A and B are shown apart, each in its own frame.
Chain A
Amino acid sequence: MTRDEAFFEFLLRMGDNTLILGHRVSEWCGHSPVLEEDIALANTALDLIGQTQMWLGLAGEIEGKGRSADDLAYLRDAWDFRNVLLVERPNGDFGQTIMRQFLFDAWHSLMLGRLMQSSDTRVAEIAAKASKEAAYHLERSADLVVRLGDGTAESHARMQAALDDHWPYTGELFLSDAADKAVAEAGLAPDPASLKEEWDEMVTRVLTEATLAIPEGAYVHKGGKAGTHTEHLGYILAQMQWLQRAYPGATW
């Protein structure tokens, strides 16, 4: 794998994480429990989609085959997507959505903070822009995890169930493969494993305040980063891509 191939792979992972999570969160639009949450989730989704345009735009540039961010988003099939499995998990109830968001936001804010030191200026600039938004997302999702976890018996039970469900999917965020090692050696991005300790501390602090118990099992569901996805991704892509598939090149 050449440096640019690894770089392209890394950029797809960043962009696909924000694209798929952004799409998932946008599914709440018009369905949230209260208007304020509807607006908040739609805004979060919007930020993530905006970041996707930057990551996938740069990915297309590095690949050098003339593919735009739109081409990469709308014209690849599931096995070419590189997002972690966590972000394609179904929304479930509001608690599950917020817990998934919190676990992701904690990782995202740490990752972007490190990417601001990237040896590639373009990566550092995108990270600086996105990290402001991610910090705001984290503030909100952490606050809601505490309020709902340390809330009523019902909300506590739902948040604990959400944590138990999502937990085995968090390990994939910190797995390193050949592409990760290559971009780390080039100073483009940190080795994912190097974020684990800080993430553990951050997440433990919030979950403890939320009176939630961290699950004990160490099993890690993985595959998304290499293109092996759960059945859920196909449904997301069917909805997201059908228009460009049915009417290639259609514009607004």
Chain B
Amino acid sequence: MSTAALPSTDEVWTWLDQVPDPEIPVISVVDLGIVRGVEWQDDTLVVHVTPTYSGCPATTLINIEIEKALRDRGIEKLRIERRISPAWTTDWLSERGRQKLEDYGIAPPQAAGGPDHCPRCGSKNVEKVSQFGSTPCKAQWRCKDCLEPFDYFKCI
């Protein structure tokens, strides 16, 4: 790819926005707020990615998915860099990402420390089952009206 043909970083962002999170495929890695920067260093594309939790096992897979998506678009020179600072926060989840989580049945993070309502029936009568859930980024809650358990995206 000659320098003249390098795609713009805006275009790269739209491609990345089509890469799903491997554990919560309803949102993209951009919605999740873990892509922290995209830049060209000469003819090499550098993508900065931050982990959600330091031990999140999906991190390696996410890097592979990002690399694959960009290679499929014809990017040849590519480097994915891990950036841990500033530390990831759920404040970086996009508004659209929050809505998609809710639609999917995962309560989005709330500053109050717990879900506002059941993502299935909307009842505010909910209780915590466990501070940890099916992935490092989630906790388990239950609706006391529709009786369904549901995931809550931890607020950090």
Q: What residues make up the interface of A, taking CB atoms closer than 8 Å to B?
A: 36-37, 39-40, 43-51, 53-54, 121, 124-126, 128-130, 132-133, 136, 139-140
B99 interface residue per 8 A CB criterion: no
Q: What residues make up the interface of B, taking CB atoms closer than 8 Å to A?
A: 51, 53-57, 84-88, 129-134, 136, 140, 154, 156
Chain A interface mostly: helix
Q: Is the CB of B131 within 8 A of A136?
A: yes
Assuming the contacts A36-B140, A125-B85, asked whether A47 and B130 have C-beta atoms less than 8 A apart, the reply is: no
Q: Is the CB of B84 within 8 A of A54?
A: yes
Taking A39-B133, A40-B130, A50-B54 as known contacts, 13 extra A-B pairs with beta carbons closer than 8 A to each other, sorted by chain A number, are A36-B129, A39-B132, A39-B134, A40-B131, A43-B132, A46-B56, A47-B54, A121-B85, A129-B51, A129-B54, A129-B84, A130-B54, A139-B131
A-B contact pairs, 17 of them (CB 8 A): A40-B130, A44-B132, A45-B55, A46-B55, A46-B56, A47-B54, A47-B136, A50-B51, A121-B85, A125-B85, A129-B51, A129-B84, A133-B53, A136-B154, A136-B156, A139-B131, A140-B131
Please, which residues of chain A bring their CB within 8 A of the CB of B129?
36
Max chain A C-beta neighbours (<10 A), residue from B129, B131, B140: B131
Q: Is the CB of A50 within 8 A of B55?
A: yes
Closest to A144 in B: B131
Assuming the contacts A40-B130, A47-B136, asked whether A129 and B87 have C-beta atoms less than 8 A apart, the reply is: yes
Please, which residues of chain A bring their CB within 8 A of the CB of B57?
46
- CA A37 – CA B129 in complex, angstroms? 10
Assuming the contacts A40-B131, A43-B136, asked whether A128 and B53 have C-beta atoms less than 8 A apart, the reply is: no
Closest to A139 in B: B131
- CA A47 – CA B57 in complex, angstroms? 10
Q: Is the CB of B55 within 8 A of A48?
A: yes
Max chain A C-beta neighbours (<10 A), residue from B57, B85, B86, B133: B85
